[in-house]
Homo-oligomer: A and B are copies of this chain.
Amino acid sequence: MSEVQTYLDAHFAEALEDLKAFCRIPSVSTDPAYAEGIAAAANFVAQRLKRAGFASVDLLDTGGHPAVYGEIVSNPKLPTVLVYGHYDVQPPDPLKKWTTPPFDPDERDGRLYARGVSDDKGPLLIPILVAEAYLKTTGRLPVNLKVLIEGEEETGSPHFEATLQKYQALLACDLVISADGAMWRPDRPSMTVASRGLAALEVAVSGGSKDLHSGRHGGSAPNAIGALASLLASLHGADGRVAVDGFLDGTTPPDPTIISAIEAADFDAEAYYREIGSPKPDPITDGRALLIRQWLEPTLEFNGISGGYQGSGSKTVIPSSASAKITCRLVAGQKPDHIVAVVRRHLEARLPAGFALDVHRHGPGSEAFFVNPDLPALKVAEGVLAELLGRHPLRVAMGATIPIGTAFRKQLERETIFFSFSTSDEDYHAPNEFFRLGNFRTGLTAWALLLQRLAA
C-alpha cells in the first residue's frame, strides 16, 4: 500500500491534468446540441481506462448515449467490485453567472472550477487512477475490478436499467461501489445510505391557437400564463408541502438511523439560509425540521418556466402557450408512475375552461433508495473514512437522487455503497461548480485502502 500511495503522490500533478482535460469536454446529456461532447467524453473515459491498464474496454450500446465498460478480472478467488460513475454533466446555463468559462477548468484556492468536475468527473476518475497505481506498482489489483461509466445520469438514466439487464453476465459482481453521490458536508465525514427518488415532468398549457394582441383581446382571450400560474400555485399548501391528493400514497416510515444522524448533526438552519442567500421561510423552524424536509420528505419543485415575450422591454401580447418544468423527489414507497398520474389528475381537475393541458414526462424516474444497514462493505468503508478523516462518519440521507442503487439491486441482485469524494456544497447543478483538490487527494488514498480492505 505504501508504494501505491507513493505512486499516487508522485503522479498527482498528472492526475490533475487528466481531470482538467476531461472537464474541457462539454458532455451535457440533456441537450442534443452537445452530442459531440458526449461522444468525446465516452471516448476519453475509454482511452483513460486503456492507459491505466484495463485489458478489456468497450463502449456498451444502451439505446441512448453509450456506457463505457472496462474490467481487470484476474483471480476468481478475489471478490469482484463493480465501480459506477457517469461522464455526462448538467447544462452550464446560466452562462453569464460563471466566473470562468464552464468548460475551461480553472484552479483557484485549492479548488478546480468546471461544469461536471464534482459531479461526477473528479470522483469517477479516482478509482481509475487508483487501479493504475496498483498496476504500475504491485502489478495487480487487490480485487477483480469492473468499471461502468454511463452517459445519461443527468437525464435520469433512461436506458440504465435495461442496459444492466442486457449485460447482466458481463457485469456480474459481488458489490457495487458508486463513485457518484456526495459527502454531505465538507467538515464532517459521512456515508450516504439513502437517497430520494425522482419523477420529472413538463406541464404545458395552451389557450388560443396563436399569440393575440393584449389590447384587442385583453379580457376575453384565455391567457396561458395566467392559467399555468394558477395551476402551479395549487400544487403546494401554505406549509410548503405538496398539496396533491395521492402524492403520499405508499410511503413508508424513514430508517431510524437517519433520524439519529439528524439529531447528531445539530444542523444550523440560520447558517444554511445565510449560505444560500435567502431569509428563512416560515415553515422551517430549525435545523432538524430542515433536514427532515431535505432528506425524508418528498418535494415538487419548479425547475423552469417560460411563456410569451421574454426579450427586453414589454410586448403587449396574450401568449397562446406557457410551460413549466417540474421535478419531484420521492421517498421510500413512492412510485414515479403514480406520482406523474396524481399530478396529472390534480392539474386536469383544476384546468380552467378555455385551455388545453399537456403533461409530458421526462424519463422513467426512479424510486428512493436505501442501503441495507447491515452490509459488511458499508462498515468497511466507514472504517476507511474514520481512519483517514479522524472521525466516524455519520450515516446520512441525501435529498438528491441516485437511481442506480435500486437498478443494481433489481438487475444484478447486488448491494451498492456510495463512496464519493465530492461534497454537496460544490454547486454541481449551478454556476461555478467546483471540486476540492484536497478531497481529490484524500479520495485517491481512500479508494486504494478500500479496495485492499475489501479483498480481506
Query: Which residues from chain A sit less than 8 Å from chain B, CB to CB?
Result: 30-32, 90-91, 93-94, 97, 155-156, 182, 195-196, 198, 200, 202, 207-223, 225-226, 228-230, 232-234, 236, 240, 272-273, 276-282, 284, 290, 293-294, 297, 299, 301-320, 322, 324-325, 327, 329, 352-355, 362-363, 398-401, 424, 427-432
Contact = CB atoms under 8 A, between A and B. Distances in A.
Contacts of A325: 308-309, 314-315
Given A209-B276, A211-B429, A352-B281, A308 B305 contact: yes
A290 B306 CA distance: 28
Residue among A198, A218, A308, A363 facing the most chain B CB atoms (10 A cut-off): A218
Residue among A93, A155, A314 facing the most chain B CB atoms (10 A cut-off): A314
B429 A281 contact: no
Contact of A217 (B94, B276, B282): B276
A32 B313 CA distance: 9
A313 B30 contact: yes
B276 A303 contact: no
Contacts of A329: 214-215, 218-219
Task: Specify the main secondary structure of chain A where it touches its partner.
Answer: loop
B281 A354 contact: yes
Nearest to A155: B313
B229 A215 contact: no
28 contacts: A30-B311, A30-B314, A30-B315, A155-B314, A195-B215, A202-B314, A210-B277, A212-B429, A215-B329, A215-B400, A216-B424, A218-B327, A219-B299, A220-B272, A220-B284, A220-B293, A220-B294, A225-B324, A226-B301, A279-B353, A281-B354, A282-B352, A303-B315, A303-B318, A309-B325, A313-B362, A314-B325, A314-B362
Contacts of A299: 214, 218-219
A60 B354 CA distance: 46
A430 B314 contact: no
Given A214-B327, A431-B210, A319 B303 contact: yes
Given A215-B399, A221-B278, A353-B279, A303 B313 contact: no
Contacts of A319: 302-304
Contacts of A284: 220
Contacts of A282: 352-354
A221 B276 contact: yes
A225 B217 contact: no
B353 A281 contact: yes
A369 B248 CA distance: 55
A210 B362 contact: no
A206 to B, nearest CB: 8
Given A208-B278, A217-B399, A431-B211, A223 B313 contact: no
Contacts of A198: 215, 316
Nearest to A313: B30
A97 B210 contact: yes
Contacts of A223: 301-302
Given A279-B353, A314-B202, A213 B301 contact: no
A252 to B, nearest CB: 18
A317 to B, nearest CB: 5
Given A207-B278, A278-B354, A399-B219, A316 B327 contact: yes
A309 B430 CA distance: 11
Contacts of A312: 30-32
Contacts of A363: 314
A449 to B, nearest CB: 27
A277 to B, nearest CB: 3
B314 A429 contact: no
A220 B399 CA distance: 10
A399 B216 contact: yes
Contact of A429 (B156, B213, B279): B213
Nearest to A224: B302
Contacts of A233: 226, 229-230, 232-234
Contacts of A202: 314
